[in-house]
Amino acid sequence: MSLLQIEGLGIDFGGLRAVHDVSFSLGAGEIVSVIGPNGAGKTTLFNMISGVYRPEHGRVRLAGEDVTGIEPHLLARRGLSRTFQNLQIFQAMTVLENAIAGHHLHEKGPVLADLLSLPSSRRRAAEAEASARMLLDRVGLGRAEAQEAGSLSYGALKRLEIARALALKPRVLLLDEPAAGCNAVETEEIDRLIAEVAAEGVAILLVEHDMKMVMRISNHIVVLDHGEKIAEGAPAKVSRDPRVIEAYLGPQVRETADAHG
Amino acid sequence: MRLSSKTTTLLALAALIALAPLFFPSSYYFRVGSLIFVNGLAVTGLVVLTGYAGQISLGHAGFVGIGAYACALAPVHLGLNPIAAAVVGAALSGGIAWLVGRPILRLKGYYLAVASLGFGALVSMVLANEAQVTGGPDGMTVPDPGLRALLKSAGLDLSNSAFWYAFSGIVLVIGAWLALNLYHSPTGRALRALHGSEVAARTVGVDVAGFKLRAFVISAFYASLSGSLLALQNKFITPDVAGYMHSIELVTMTVLGGAGSVLGAICGAMILTTLPQVLTVFQEYEQVMLGLVMMLVMIFMRDGLLPSLSRKIRGRGK
């Protein structure tokens, strides 16, 4: 059974059709990529799935449950987590604290216990801290844990966001351009990390502009253009689809051909 | 053993409070000191609201007023000891903060500032106008809780001003301890997270509205207890404590000292409580000098006096 099911999702912004009638589904351990030219509605689609926008049409189902338009913090409780295209890091915190903050649902407890620093409160925080350290090691930021997050490089912040999202132990993970602004080495690291996480059974929905990466790691690709789904399928199939080539890959292919000619 | 920054802060604060009287030439300084602690307590609550959670309130004197009048009214009408009345006042403030906070904390930035200003104005109007109950603008007397007499019978005879200095000092240290505990706790982390990015805090599961409300209620407790302490030591109270000038003073102390740091904000309370007395040497220019000091600190030390200075000192140490 699919873990995340998108059925006829749509939203308008002041008469402008941002996303219209998009459907697809995502199973455990699968990596599905959403591609399309700039302004195709990829981030809007992400925002609807993750509860940041309330869709006007259609349904989002998480493990069968209708979760359309419910708030992001309630989706987080149901195991849906995400990263952002424009980074949303807690700048004033250290790297370690950003990763601990991702454990909010595991570490939160009564305010009174926190005010009095009761052993129960300290234990919750210590467990979250230990788990945060492991996650930082996993994304290669273990040595940066004491730094202020604002001082990290762009690529490192992207990985920190992934670590923070993984802290939730999500069933579904939405990654919005995780490799944007990263160099080749960093992209490869993120690539490997995504594959690892998927292999653990997490369903991953990816928006990414790096086509090589998308073609390499996706099981399934959904192509958007002007807010509508124009194709979907396996990478090899999508890359040969004439509508996709025309709408999206076409100009690029021609440009590449021109550059080589 | 290396002390944590929390322990160091608390020890520094406690030592300062305990040792300062050695240099007091007259009992007047005990009076100023306890006034600093009273303001410091309200300001510590604002550190939780503004420094941790990033929300502003220009109406917290409303809660100071509720706490102060609880100590005047509850003993008369309910026959409570004034100390118990302070607890009732804090519970009432917390309850009102919970009711008021739900709608107004949905607002952001200056919208929230104006809405909270309105709340403060409402409380001070009620206190000034319901003269039959509150005595109106003339104010009310506050009964003595009898704590000093109790200490005296136990063999510790303190002067009135020394007693209130010690009592408010202890309350402030406890208040600072709680706020510092909160900073490093899961709740404090959630508050600082939503301060940093609300949308990211939501996606890690933080109930943003709920946590803002918690910070608002906690800061209302602090403000209310500050008002109660003021009423108890002055033994007299007027609606001015709930006025918007007092709200703005509290926010100014917090921001001037450093909203993100408990000790910094308490320093802000100390400076703005004592500066007007020091600046009397400038006579009619007193207010001008006060304004000038505030502007200069904000221009050159945006994070507040203490955090900016300590960063400079640490920077030099490297």
Give a yes or no: residue B16 inside a domain. Answer: no
Contact A82 B206 (CB under 8 A): no
Residue B6 · residue B181 · CB < 8 Å: yes
| B248 CB burial (10 A radius; 0-12, 13-18, 19+) | middle
Interface residues of chain A, partner chain B, Cβ below 8 Å: 50-52, 71-73, 75-77, 81-82, 84, 88-93, 97, 100-105, 107-109, 111, 114-117, 121, 124-125, 128, 164-165, 167-168
> What pLDDT score does B317 carry?
46
Cα torsion angle, A70, A75, A80, A82, sign = positive
| Below-70 pLDDT ranges, chain A | 1, 248-261
Residue B166, C-beta contacts closer than 8 angstroms, at least 6 positions apart: B158
The residue of chain A with its CA nearest to that of B213 is A111
* Partner A contacted by B176 (CB < 8 A): no
The pairing of beta strand A80-82 with beta strand B236-237: unpaired
Kindly report the three-state secondary structure assignment for every residue of B65-118: HHHHHHHHHHHHHHCCCHHHHHHHHHHHHHHHHHHHHHHHCCCCHHHHHHHHHH
Give the total number of structural domains in chain B. Answer: 1
Give a yes or no: residue B120 inside a domain. Answer: yes
Contact B193 A104 (CB under 8 A): yes
> What pLDDT score does B62 carry?
97
Give a yes or no: residue B290 inside a domain. Answer: no
* Partner A contacted by B246 (CB < 8 A): no
> What pLDDT score does B2 carry?
59
* Partner A contacted by B10 (CB < 8 A): no
Measured distance CA(A126)–CA(A121) in Å, rounded: 9
Tell me yes or no: is domain A1-79+170-261 CATH 3.40.50.1950: no
Measured distance CA(B71)–CA(A223) in Å, rounded: 68
Measured distance CA(A223)–CA(A230) in Å, rounded: 6
> What pLDDT score does A3 carry?
93
> What does the pLDDT look like over A116-155, one tens digit per residue?
999 999 999 999 999 999 999 999 999 999 999 989 988 8
The residue of chain B with its CA nearest to that of A100 is B189
| Below-50 pLDDT ranges, chain B | 317-318
> What pLDDT score does B318 carry?
39
| β-strand partners of B236 | B141
Give a yes or no: residue B37 inside a domain. Answer: yes
Residue A38, C-beta contacts closer than 8 angstroms, at least 6 positions apart: none
Across all residues in chain A, what is the average pLDDT? 90
Contact A82 B203 (CB under 8 A): yes
Contact B184 A91 (CB under 8 A): no
Kindly report the three-state secondary structure assignment for every residue of A134-157: HHHHHCCCHHHCCCEHHHCCHHHH
Contact A72 B214 (CB under 8 A): no
Per DSSP, the three-state class of A206 is strand
Domain ranges in chain A are 1-79+170-261, 91-168
> What pLDDT score does A1 carry?
64
* Partner A contacted by B182 (CB < 8 A): yes
